[in-house]
Homo-oligomer: A and B are copies of this chain.
Amino acid sequence: MLNLLKSTLFLSILLCCSMSFAKDNYHEYIDPFIGSEGLGNVFVGPSNPFGMVKPGPDIGTHSNSGYDPDLTKPLVGFSQIHVSGTGGGPKYGNISIMPYSGDFESVAQTSLRANEHTSVGYYATDLVKWGIKAELATADRAAFHQYTFRDNRNNAIKIDGGFFLGEKAVPDAREAQQFVGSQVEVISPTEIRGYSRIRGGWNNGNAYTVYYHAQVNQPCDSFSTFKGDTLYPSIKSQYDSGDKTGVVCRFSDHKSKTVKLKIGISFISEAKAAENLRGQIPHWNFNLVREQSEQKWERLIAQIELDKSASREQRVMFYTGLYHTMLMPVDRSGENPLWTATPYYDDFYAIWDTFRTSSPLITLIAPERQADIINGMLNIYRYDGYLPEGRSGNTNGRTQGGSNADVVIADAYAKNLSGVNYHQALKAMIKNATVSPGGNSEKEGRGGLEDYNHLGYVSTDYVRAGNRTLEYAYNDFALATVAKGLHRMGEYYRFIDQSNNWQNLWRDTEHDGARGFIMPKDADGKWVDEVPCTIKDGIAQNIEYTPLAQDWPNCVCWWCGFFYEASSWEYSFYVPHDIAQVIEKSGGSGAFEARLNTFFEHNYYNVANEPSFLTPTLYHWLGKPHLSSDRINKIIQEHYTSARDGLPGNDDSGAMSSWLAFHMIGLFPNAGQPYYLINTPQVKSATLHLEGGNTFKVVADKLSKKNRYIVSASLNGKPFNNTWIAHEDVIKGGELKLKMASKPSDWGKGKFPPSLSTMQK
Q: Give the interface of A toward B (CB within 8 A).
A: 172, 178, 180-181, 183, 185, 195, 197, 199, 206-207, 209, 237, 239-242, 268-269, 271-272, 274-275, 334, 337-340, 382, 385-386, 431, 435-441, 445, 450
Contacts and interface: CB of A to CB of B under 8 A. Distances in A.
A712 B591 CA distance: 92
A207 B338 contact: yes
B185 A240 contact: no
A271 B435 CA distance: 42
A431 B178 CA distance: 24
Nearest to A435: B439
A239 B181 contact: no
Contact of A271 (B239, B271, B437): B239
A52 to B, nearest CB: 16
B180 A439 contact: no
Contacts of A382: 172
11 contacts: A180-B340, A206-B338, A239-B274, A240-B268, A241-B272, A242-B340, A386-B439, A431-B439, A436-B439, A437-B440, A439-B440
A672 B249 CA distance: 58
Contact of A199 (B206, B207, B241, B338): B338
A527 to B, nearest CB: 24
B180 A239 contact: no
A337 B209 CA distance: 9
Counting chain B CB atoms within 10 Å of each CB, the highest count among A274, A334, A436, A440 belongs to A440
Given A338-B180, A340-B180, A271 B185 contact: yes
B438 A197 contact: no
A275 B239 contact: yes
Contacts of A385: 439-440
A567 B659 CA distance: 61
Given A199-B338, A242-B334, A237 B271 contact: yes
A501 B269 CA distance: 51
A504 to B, nearest CB: 21
Contacts of A386: 439
Contacts of A172: 382
In the A-B complex, the 6 residue pairs with the closest CB atoms = A438-B438, A239-B271, A436-B438, A435-B439, A207-B338, A437-B438
B271 A337 contact: no
A446 to B, nearest CB: 10
A337 B269 contact: no
B338 A268 contact: no
A361 B340 CA distance: 42
Contact of A269 (B206, B240, B439, B445): B240
Contacts of A338: 180, 199, 206-207
Contacts of A339: 178, 180, 199, 207
A486 B658 CA distance: 56
A373 B268 CA distance: 31
Contacts of A439: 385-386, 431, 435-438, 440, 445
Indicate the member of A178, A207, A450 with the most B CB atoms within 10 Å: A207
A181 B340 contact: yes
B436 A337 contact: no
Nearest to A271: B239
A338 B393 CA distance: 12
Contacts of A195: 269
Contacts of A240: 268-269, 271-272
Given A240-B268, A437-B438, 16 more contacts: A180-B338, A180-B339, A181-B268, A206-B206, A207-B338, A207-B339, A209-B337, A237-B271, A239-B269, A239-B274, A242-B340, A386-B439, A435-B439, A437-B440, A438-B438, A439-B445
Contacts of A180: 337-340
Contact of A450 (B237, B441, B450): B450
Nearest to A384: B206
Contacts of A340: 180-181, 242
Nearest to A337: B207
Contacts of A199: 338-339
A108 to B, nearest CB: 23
A656 to B, nearest CB: 33
A438 B446 CA distance: 10
Contacts of A268: 181, 240
